[in-house]
Structure 1
Amino acid sequence: MSTPGTFIAGVTDADIEEGRRAYQQDREHVFHSWSAQAGLDPMTVLRTEGSYVWDGEGRRLLDFSSQMVNTNIGHQHPAVVRAIQDQAAKICTIAPSHVNAARSEAARLIAELTPGDLNHVFFTNGGADANEHAIRMARVHTGRHKVLSAYRSYHGGTDLAVNVTGDTRRFGNDHAGVGVARFLPAYPYRSYFDSTSEEEETTRALRHLEDVILLEGPESIAALILESVPGTPGIYVPPKGYMQGVRNLADKYGIVWIADEVMVGFGRTGEWFAVDHWDQRPDLMTFAKGVNSGYVPLGGVAISDEIYQTFAERPYPGGLTYSGHPLACAAAVATIQAMKDEGMVENARRLGTEVFGPGLAEIAEKHPSVGDVRGLGCFWAIELVKDRQTKEPLAPYGGSSAAMGELIGALKAGGMLPFANYNRIHVAPPLNMSTEEAREGLRIIDEALSVADAHAV
């Protein structure tokens, strides 16, 4: 495992002044995603290295978010930076109809890691279009149109992907006619089925899913898309038996199972892919983010042999100018190799079992504002409540609150860049984070939670 370094020279006055100019230009010209523009006060980042970022005033912050949960190997990993530089010196870009060594090697490495017979890779620019193309493949393969997706899910910001999404981000984009039907997920802490155990949750959630399939008409359903461990909607780990049940229902009704591994793929949960925890084999699997730690935009669809055969003699009706971009694929090759060489997946698993699991359990016991902690590897959620008995959230579904704002401020003041969503703090640091850095992050969270406790019963 690599130990992230720090800048020897640090941040200079010139860096800070440059950052201030950048901030002014940002507010004059940059249109930010998912935001009302006028009230924004975005943080400037001057430098990044390992598990740290430096803000606009030169303060070092421990990155417990991995940005958008994508910098799995941390910031500025020298092997990946060098691979991008070397590739740029040979071929910066080339049309996807041509073979290039970076794309071929990236596809080989990915196919080597994916479960089952997902032996073929279609490259995209990111996770949203990976999900769009996976659905298109399923529709052509089955000759059906409808897609099932879970509530409390997120599948991307493009037109179909955001309509397939099951959380509040789809509300401003929702429209009829895209052929999406939704089901309630297995979510033990806030069970939609009044379950009192994981066994009950699995049984009741699968019965509900089959009811939805039957009521929607199995013969009309092309695909069931499911985040293997939902990310921004809550990091709620599927209970035992649930993923096997999803596989069984997909097989029973001839539905293509698409595993969305955009956020959890490439080591995030302590396995190369989250489905590996349950030894399951999806028909299509989407990825992005961690495939090259976000150093250059890249996503893709891993395709089973059966679905590949649908397009062996029939043209696939889709493509992208930047499919398998050489710089992105060179970064993917270097990232995967670095993860193997430095044991990052194993380190993520170890941090989960030895540091985050027990450390967060202690925090939950100590703080009345913590209703639940859950997760795997380097992927955990701290669900915050006003009342543990009623489970009233510290912020409403789809929104924030003054209490959450105070908590986020306390975390930043303590030296952390957190990932917050609704009433939760997510623990999602780089997979090569050291034990000392992980424990320091938990210490910052522990101290900051006194702010949230003031709002709890």
Structure 2
Amino acid sequence: MSTSSHSSTGNQREAGIRPVVGWEEDCGAAGVGHDLTGADLDAAVIEADHSRVLHSWSAQAHLPSSSIAGGSGASLWDYAGNTWIDFSSQLINVNIGYQHPRVVAAIRRQAEVMTMVAPSTSNKQRAEAAGKILEHAPAGFEKVFFTNAGADANENAMRMARLVTGRDKIISRYRSYHGNTGASIVATGDWRRIPNEYARGHVHVFGPYLYRSEFWATTAEQECARALEHLEHTILAEGPETIAGILLESVPGTAGIMVPPPGYLAGVRRIADRYGIVMICDEVMAGFGRTGAWFAFQRQDVVPDLITFAKGVNSGYVPAGGVVISSEIAHFFDERVFPGGLTYSGHPLAMAAIVAAITAMEDEGIVENADQIGETVLGPGLRALGDNPLVGEVRGQGVFWAVELVADKATRERLEGSRLAAVSRRCHQRGLILPVHDNRIHVVPPCVITAEQATRGIEILADALAEEARH
């Protein structure tokens, strides 16, 4: 596959790409950095942002001092002209890369025709976007309910499960993230749930994670069997007649990119069928190429009842998410009102971006590129880091990888945050952006990343880890 038409691996100035300067003149009193360029403009943008914007999940006095002015393919740059290879995809959503010309052109064309259509009104772009998504869903899926993002996609999937079953409880996992709306944040399994626990009817279980097994397992087979037994025992203890749905990320992302062992998702499917429970696969982060497949659950030959998506469906160019609905559940609402809706459900600009993004991914082999890069470059390159004394485990697939860092390989004591921050800082200084979570580095570049970029990024990471190990 070739991505040369829209990727930039060198300095953007050499490619004739420059940050737009002078846009502030149209912004009145809110303008930033009048008549400034380079590092001075960069500093002005950062100062204005920090003083005016309340940033999510952050203590506002300790925000990062960096900016993004533009990007192309898997490359980013700031207002001062510094460039980076991107191993973050922003929030693991820019799957098709930055500024893909076909998606940008589609948004522009739609903006010139119609910029807003109410959800109750039929619209060509919305119908086409649903069709493109359904083409990649398993047989037996019939409709798409569009949302603004992944959190409200999960919110509405849980609502559907409760309405269809007449039950109340949702089971999800402790190591998970499902979004920051009322029920989605309570379904989430990490610390962000605790100050937001206002929704009712949520039960959590542990999923498989062999490196830090909750089940005293020593093999993937043991971990899988015991995690499934734990899930079924929880259902029996809660009362199967009270469980509406099982919500799980096909591959937990923010929690650590823990690819489930073979047979786990199929086992969840069997348990859900046994007790009449709706199985919801959260593909918000893992879907649309991230694991080297259109949907991550397809790599385990499993079919859920509901699929939630967002992020990679149009690479976040315009906010969009949704629920892909099986025929049985879709027809439940033929004569019953579905009590949910959003002003911007199926927004035409977002729908145009979905159609263009999926079409480009099909035509250009972008999902296949993600799979190949994972198999031939990222996987081998990251596993080779295992000789470093700080590297505890490497796991992932496609362009969805985690490197778990430890202070001691024998005890698996987690590496402290300040040392991860030092590794991340060295990478940034050398031309690589990559996210850190807890004691992990996540390697999650756009699906269009080239082998050369991926190789160079791993070299930078290896050098940064080696330097930290010497300390």
Question: TM-score, length-normalised on structure 2?
Answer: 0.93
| Unaligned ranges ≥5, structure 1 | 396-400
Residue 165 in structure 1 maps to residue 181 in structure 2 = no
Q: Distance in 1 between matches of 2:111 and 2:18?
A: 28
Residue 198 in structure 1 maps to residue 220 in structure 2 = yes
Residue 218 in structure 1 maps to residue 235 in structure 2 = no
Report the residue type matching 1:117 in the other structure.
G
- Residue of structure 2 aligned with 1:101, choices 124, 129, 135: 124
Q: 1:226 to 1:303 in 2, by over 3 A?
A: same
Q: Distance in 2 between matches of 1:230 and 1:120?
A: 25
- Deviation (angstroms), 1:10: 4.8
Residue 234 in structure 1 maps to residue 256 in structure 2 = yes
Corresponding residue for residue 81 of structure 1: 104
Q: Distance in 2 between matches of 1:303 and 1:10?
A: 42
Does the CA contact (< 8 Å) of 1:410 and 1:451 recur in 2? no
Corresponding residue for residue 144 of structure 1: 167
Does the CA contact (< 8 Å) of 1:146 and 1:181 recur in 2? yes
- Residue of structure 1 aligned with 2:323, choices 301, 310, 332: 301
- Residue of structure 2 aligned with 1:421, choices 430, 437, 442: 437
Does the CA contact (< 8 Å) of 1:115 and 1:280 recur in 2? no
Does the CA contact (< 8 Å) of 2:38 and 2:80 recur in 1? no
Report the residue type matching 1:426 in the other structure.
H
- Residue of structure 2 aligned with 1:119, choices 129, 142, 146: 142
Corresponding residue for residue 462 of structure 2: 446
Corresponding residue for residue 62 of structure 1: 85
Residue 408 in structure 1 maps to residue 424 in structure 2 = yes
Alignment deviations for residues 163-203 of structure 1 (CA, whole Å, 9 cap, x no partner) = 1100112122124x511000011111111101010111111
- Residue of structure 2 aligned with 1:269, choices 285, 291, 296: 291
Corresponding residue for residue 389 of structure 1: 410
Does the CA contact (< 8 Å) of 1:43 and 1:56 recur in 2? no
Q: Distance in 2 between matches of 1:403 and 1:249?
A: 42
- Deviation (angstroms), 1:128: 0.2
| Unaligned ranges ≥5, structure 2 | 20-35
- Deviation (angstroms), 1:113: 0.5
Alignment deviations for residues 313-347 of structure 1 (CA, whole Å, 9 cap, x no partner) = 10100100000000001000000011011101111
Q: Distance in 2 between matches of 1:381 and 1:185?
A: 17
Residue 131 in structure 1 maps to residue 162 in structure 2 = no
Residue 345 in structure 1 maps to residue 361 in structure 2 = no
Q: Distance in 1 between matches of 2:51 and 2:289?
A: 38
Q: What fraction of aligned residue pairs are identical, expressed as a percent?
A: 51
Q: How many residues align?
A: 448
Report the residue type matching 2:145 in the other structure.
F
Does the CA contact (< 8 Å) of 1:131 and 1:260 recur in 2? yes
Residue 9 in structure 1 maps to residue 30 in structure 2 = no
SS of match in other structure, 1:92: coil
Q: Distance in 2 between matches of 1:392 and 1:41?
A: 27
SS of match in other structure, 1:308: helix
SS of match in other structure, 1:38: helix
SS of match in other structure, 1:224: strand
- Deviation (angstroms), 1:17: 4.2
Q: Distance in 1 between matches of 2:44 and 2:390?
A: 40
Report the residue type matching 1:156 in the other structure.
G
Does the CA contact (< 8 Å) of 2:392 and 2:409 recur in 1? yes
- Residue of structure 1 aligned with 2:312, choices 287, 290, 312: 290
Does the CA contact (< 8 Å) of 2:41 and 2:80 recur in 1? no
- Deviation (angstroms), 1:228: 0.2
Q: Distance in 2 between matches of 1:23 and 1:212?
A: 48
Q: Distance in 2 between matches of 1:42 and 1:386?
A: 28
- Deviation (angstroms), 1:22: 2.5
Corresponding residue for residue 70 of structure 2: 47
Q: Distance in 2 between matches of 1:88 and 1:227?
A: 34
Does the CA contact (< 8 Å) of 1:411 and 1:444 recur in 2? yes
SS of match in other structure, 2:60: coil
Report the residue type matching 1:161 in the other structure.
S
Q: Distance in 2 between matches of 1:300 and 1:15?
A: 40
Q: Distance in 2 between matches of 1:215 and 1:378?
A: 38
Q: Distance in 2 between matches of 1:142 and 1:102?
A: 32
Residue 380 in structure 1 maps to residue 401 in structure 2 = yes
Q: Distance in 2 between matches of 1:439 and 1:187?
A: 28
- Deviation (angstroms), 1:429: 0.5
Corresponding residue for residue 310 of structure 1: 332
- Matches for 1:363-374 after TM superposition, within 5 Å: 363-364=385-386, 366-374=387-395
Corresponding residue for residue 197 of structure 2: 174
Q: 1:357 to 1:39 in 2, by over 3 A?
A: closer
Alignment deviations for residues 407-439 of structure 1 (CA, whole Å, 9 cap, x no partner) = 111110121111111111111111111110110
Q: Distance in 1 between matches of 2:77 and 2:182?
A: 35
- Deviation (angstroms), 1:362: 1.0
Corresponding residue for residue 453 of structure 2: 437
Alignment deviations for residues 359-380 of structure 1 (CA, whole Å, 9 cap, x no partner) = 111111x211000000010101
Q: Distance in 2 between matches of 1:157 and 1:454?
A: 39
- Deviation (angstroms), 1:23: 2.0
Report the residue type matching 2:64 in the other structure.
D
Q: Distance in 2 between matches of 1:70 and 1:335?
A: 12
Does the CA contact (< 8 Å) of 1:406 and 1:451 recur in 2? no
Does the CA contact (< 8 Å) of 1:371 and 1:383 recur in 2? yes
Question: TM-score, length-normalised on structure 1?
Answer: 0.96
